[in-house]
Amino acid sequence: MAGYRGGMNGNMNNLVKQAQKLQEQMQEAEKELEELEVVGTSGGGEEGDETVVIYMNGKKIINGVEFGSKISQMVDLSDEEDVEMLEDLILAAINDGYKKADELYQEKMGKFGGAGLPGMM
């Protein structure tokens, strides 16, 4: 029986090592997501011609907003309709960034199959 027990301990040790390795890989992927920059845009017909640009990381934390040069020609902040249009452009840029961040998240974390370890995500 002692040999059998040793076999179970060996299997258990392997499982623990595999779980620890998986947790380390997931933590590394999470760190990569925090460091990646995602750019959401709206209002532009061509690249570089965007009206609103939102910068965020792969975990959807917004860390910058930029208005293109055409915004001053398009928006009169004393006009309520223009303000609403600007708000819509900002939301569209945020949603574009979120979509891109979701794609990055799937790319980095999808390989872990949603079977996250407790305390992760």
Among the listed residues 101, 89, 3, 22, the one whose alpha carbon sits nearest the alpha carbon of residue 50: 89
- Judge contact between 79 and 71, C-beta under 8 A: no
Helix H segments across 36-120? 71-74, 80-109
At 17-46, the pLDDT tens digits run: 888 988 898 888 888 888 889 999 988 766
Q: Is the pLDDT of residue 98 over 80?
A: yes
At 100-112, the pLDDT tens digits run: 999 988 888 888 8
DSSP classification of residue 116: P
At 55-72, the pLDDT tens digits run: 999 889 999 999 887 787
* Torsion angles phi and psi, residue 42, rounded to 5: -155, 155
Burial 23-53 (b: 16+ CB within 10 A, else e): beebeebbeebeebebebbbbbeeeeebbbb
